[in-house]
Structure formats: structure tokens, C-alpha cells
Amino acid sequence: MKYVSSPQFATVVSNEELYAETWICWLDAPSIAGQAQPGQFVMVSCGDDTILRRPLAVHQVNTESGCFALLFKLVGKGTRRLAELKTGQSVNLLGPMGNSYKFVPGSKNILLIAGGLGIAPIRFLAQRALETGKSVILLQGAPDADCLYPSALLPRNLKCHNTTEDGSEGSQCLVTAILHEYLGWADQLFACGPENMYHPIALQNNRLFRVKPFSISLEVRMGCGFGACYGCSIKTRHGMRKVCQDGPVFDYYEITWDKTG
Ligand code: FES
């Protein structure tokens, strides 16, 4: 078993709704802010009566202040408890955990694909890519305009193409439907979103997908978060893998899309 960090307490610096029942919580935790890489997550305890911790991707870090941010949507009791946290209160968490997105040597043009809350780790990755001088395009998809991450809060110099299912902003389609427009430009692809976002990509069967490095982060339910419960197991071309320990970042081509879950 890989090294598992000890539980620690982080102090809430701010906690507010950013858009459409999606909250951003900044936490004072220098060890996590200093270590976390794009794609990694923390296991957050949401209170005494919510026994299991919730896996949440690291969304932003500020290494100077020793703070990092989580982005979460109100989807149940645990996240509602998180949204109630006030400045100065403390949160028990484990992390940073899991592996991270990696740039391959020589990749200059980076294509990012975010579906829904998948923007949480993707924004962090975009920031890192821009800081290292890469050109970055973000394709962001959501059901409607209200559910898109606000453009004004994205890093400067990030080019963005939004899609919405109802056409209220950007192109009216699924985010995967515009991928082919950018494949020739991209040296490397990264994605995060719900599992059903990835299936249409497999069906596109574009030969360019086969020659471009493509890393994805999987959003799955987790129990322990550190390899003990097997609750996050998925099938891959190399056998069963645990998302919490072997991921959450995988090579897109490693996943057997008809056999996940
Ligand atoms: S969440 Fe327990 S093994 Fe992955």
C-alpha cells in the first residue's frame, strides 16, 4: 500500500457559493498547498454523522499563503454540511492523495476538456500549464449557462470554447462533439468529467486519438480513499485497478469503456 498521509486539520479561510449551487472553499493547510499537484484529491470529513469522507479534487493552490481551494456541488448531506462551514472553523482531511496529470516532454499545445464539476482539477492544471509557457485551450461543457464555471475566474491567456446542452451559451452540443475541431492542434489532451462524458469519445474512433497522449481523471464513489476497501475498483486493459490508489488519473486508452463500474 502506498503511503497514506495522516489526518490533519485545515482552517476555513472563506467558503462561498460561486455559481449554481457550486461552492468554493479556501482552506489554510500549508503542507497540502505546498505538495498538491493537478489531479490529486483530498478526503474530507463532512461532520460527525457523515461517517465516510468525501473525495474532492484540489481546485487551486496558493503556495505563498499556504492555502488551497476545493470546488464542490451541493449534491447531498455531506456537501451541504461543507457549505455551512464558516471562516475560522476547522475541517479534518487526508491528502493530497492519488496520482496527478503529467505533461509529456515536448508537449506545447494542451487541450483540456471539462464536463460539469470536472472543471475542479482542470482549472488547476490549466494554471500550471500556462505557468510553464504552454498554449492552452479549454473545452467546457455543462447543461446550461448557469452551470458553466465563470469565464472571468479562469486564468488569463486561457482560450475557452463553451458548450451547453440547451444552447444558452456557446455551442449547443455535448462538449465531446467539438473535440475533433481541436485534435489536429493539440499535442496532449487532458480531461475530467462524469463517466458518460468519455463514452462518446470512444465511439468517435478518430485515428488522431490513438497518437495523442490523453490522460483522464475518473470521478467515482470512494469509501476509504487509500486502497483498503476496493470500493472504487474499475476494469482496465491491465486488470482491476483502484481509482483512489492507481488513479484518479489514467491513460484514456487503458480503460475498457464497456466494462467500467
Ligand atoms: S476508495 Fe477504498 S479502495 Fe479506493
206 has pLDDT over 90: no
Q: Which atom of ligand 1 is nearest to the CA of 55?
A: 1
CA distances 237 to 256, 259, 261, Å, are 6, 10, 14
The reported pLDDT for the residue numbered 1 is 42
CATH number at 8-97 = 2.40.30.10
Domain 109-219, architecture per CATH: 3-Layer(aba) Sandwich (3.40)
CB 178 within 8 A of CB 163: yes
Q: Which atom of ligand 1 is nearest to the CA of 221?
A: 1
The reported pLDDT for the residue numbered 13 is 98
Any atom of ligand 1 within 6 Å of the Cβ of 225:
yes
Residue to substitute in 232, 234, 241, 246 for testing ligand 1 pocket (most ligand atoms within 8 angstroms of CB): 232
The reported pLDDT for the residue numbered 208 is 65
What's the pLDDT tens digit per position in 148-173?
999 999 999 999 999 999 999 999 99
Q: Percentage of the chain with pLDDT > 70?
A: 93
- Look up cell 467500467; give the residue: 260
244 has pLDDT over 80: yes
CA of 232 to the centre of ligand 1 (A): 5
Strand 8-19 relative to strand 22-28, pairing? antiparallel
What's the pLDDT tens digit per position in 1-22?
455 567 889 999 999 999 999 9
Span(s) in the chain for CATH 2.40.30.10: 8-97
The reported pLDDT for the residue numbered 4 is 59
All cell numbers assigned to 107: 508537449
Q: Percentage of the chain with pLDDT > 90?
A: 76
Any atom of ligand 1 within 6 Å of the Cβ of 223:
yes
What's the pLDDT tens digit per position in 96-137?
999 999 999 999 999 999 999 999 999 999 999 999 999 999
The reported pLDDT for the residue numbered 193 is 94
More confident site: 52 or 161: 161
Alpha-carbon torsion angle 179, 185, 188, 192, nearest 10: -30
Span(s) in the chain for CATH 3.40.50.80: 109-219
The average pLDDT across 49-54 equals 70
CB 136 within 8 A of CB 129: yes
More confident site: 259 or 238: 238
User: Quick check: helix, strand or coil at residue 62?
Assistant: strand
The dihedral sign for the CA sequence 234, 221, 39, 47:
negative
Any atom of ligand 1 within 6 Å of the Cβ of 244:
yes
Q: Count CB-CB contacts under 10 A for residue 248.
A: 27
Q: Count CB-CB contacts under 10 A for residue 221.
A: 11
Buried b (16+ CB within 10 A) or exposed e, 133-167: ebbbbbbbbbeeeebbbeeeebbeebebebbbeee
Q: How far apart are the first and last CA of the chain?
A: 22
Any atom of ligand 1 within 6 Å of the Cβ of 241:
no
- Look up cell 444552447; give the residue: 167
